[in-house]
Chain A
Amino acid sequence: MKNDELFGLLQVLYPDVSSTVAETGEIQWQVPTGIFLEVARTLKDDPRFAFDSLMCLSGLDLSKYPTAVKGEFVGELLACVYHLHSFEHGHEVCVSVTVPKDETASIPSVEPIWLVAGYFEREILDLYGIAFPGNHDPRRLMMPEDWIGHPLRKDYQYPSNYSTWELKREGQNFTSGPYA
C-alpha cells in the first residue's frame, strides 16, 4: 500500500497524527507522545498495517531545528525516529516522536510491542538522555553506570576527569571542536 493511503487509514483512527516531509525528502509521520503507545500497538496489530518489524530506532537532537513542529517555535527538541517494515505487505513507514529537551524527557517504551527495541532504547537513553518507561532493563548501554551527562546531546560538555584518570585534552571540548 502507498504511504498516503496508509496515512489516510491511520488518520481515521487518530486525527492528531500528522504527516511531514523531512529535509531528506522522506515522509515522516509525527505522532504526539501521549497517544504514541496506542498508535504503535495499532500499527503492529491491525492487519491492514501489520508492521511486524522495527527496522531501526534512532535518537536525534533537534537543537539546530527549533521550529520542527508545524512551523511554530516550541523550544529545543529531542526526537525518536522509528522505521517500520511489514514483511506481510512489503510496505514501510517512518514514525517520528518529539519531546522537549530537558532532563525529564521520556517516551513510552515499545519493547512490549517490538522486542528488539530494548537495546535501541537503552542506547538512546545513554547517549541522548530520553527515558523509556516500560523498558525492562533501563540501564546505560555504552557508557559506565556512573558517567555524568549524555554525550550526543549538542550542549554536552566533556568532563575533565572520570574515576581516577584525566580526560581533558586539547580539542576534546565538543563545544569548540569540529563536531560542535
Chain B
Amino acid sequence: MIEPNGSGSTLPGPTGPQVLFASVDEFLNWGRTNSLWFLQFATACCGIELMQTGCSRFDTDHLGMLPRSSPRAADVMIVAGTITHKMASRVRTLWEQMAEPRWVISMGSCANAGGPFSKYSYSVLNGIDKLIPVDVYVPGCPPRPEALIDGTEALKERIRKYQMFGIRDTEAIVIE
C-alpha cells in the first residue's frame, strides 16, 4: 500500500518501496534538481523579471534551468503574471500536458492571489491555486530575480524528497 507522503521531512518506517528505491530515488533526484527545465509561461510584467533571471547577470543556465517552449519537455511551470478567467483553462491544459513529476512555482502577487486586481476586477482569477496545485509561492510585484532563484532553491529541497510512485510533499512553500 503506497500512501502519498504529505508530512514532509521525516521518512516513514522501513516498509514499502521507500527502502527498496532509496538509492534510485536519490540518483534520479540528483538529476532532477540539477536540470530543472522550466516552461516559458509569462503573461504579464513578472515575465520581464523571469527573462532577467534567465539573462547573463543572474543566469539560470548555471543552475541547470533552461527555458522550454513545450510543456511536454518541462519539469516546472513558473506562472509569471496575471491570469484572467479566459486564460485559466489554458493554464490548466498546459499543466495537464506536463509529464510527472511536475512542479509549479507561482511567481508574483497576481498569480498568488490576484494582486492589485483581486478586489474589483471583473476578469482576473484570484490565485492560480484555484486551478492547479502550487509548490512554491514567490511574493512580490514583481519579485526580484534573487527572490525567484530563492524559490527555485526551495523547490529543489522539495524535489530531493521526492520518492518513487509520486510520493511527494504537497504543502505549499511560501518564500519570505
Contacts and interface: CB of A to CB of B under 8 A. Distances in A.
Interface string B118-135: 111011011000110000
Given A142-B123, A163-B89, A164-B130, 19 more contacts: A143-B86, A143-B123, A144-B85, A144-B86, A144-B89, A151-B122, A151-B123, A158-B122, A165-B130, A165-B131, A166-B130, A167-B126, A169-B119, A169-B126, A171-B119, A172-B119, A174-B120, A174-B122, A177-B120
Interface of B: 84-86, 88-89, 118-120, 122-123, 125-126, 130-131
7 contacts: A151-B122, A156-B122, A165-B131, A169-B126, A171-B120, A172-B120, A174-B122
Interface string A37-48: 000000000000
A166 B85 CA distance: 12
B98 to A, nearest CB: 20
A65 interface: no
Contacts, number: 37
Closest 3 CB pairs of A and B: A151-B122, A165-B130, A144-B86
B126 A163 contact: no
Contacts of B119: 169, 171-172
Contact of A163 (B84, B88, B118, B122): B88
A142 B87 CA distance: 10
B106 to A, nearest CB: 15
Contacts of A151: 122-123
A143 B85 contact: yes
A165 B125 contact: yes
Contacts of B126: 167, 169
Contacts of A164: 130
Contacts of A165: 125, 130-131
A73 interface: no
Contacts of B88: 163
Nearest to B119: A171
A147 to B, nearest CB: 7
B22 to A, nearest CB: 38
Nearest to B122: A151
A178 B119 CA distance: 11
Contacts of B118: 169
A147 B85 contact: yes
A150 to B, nearest CB: 10
A162 interface: yes
B120 A179 contact: yes
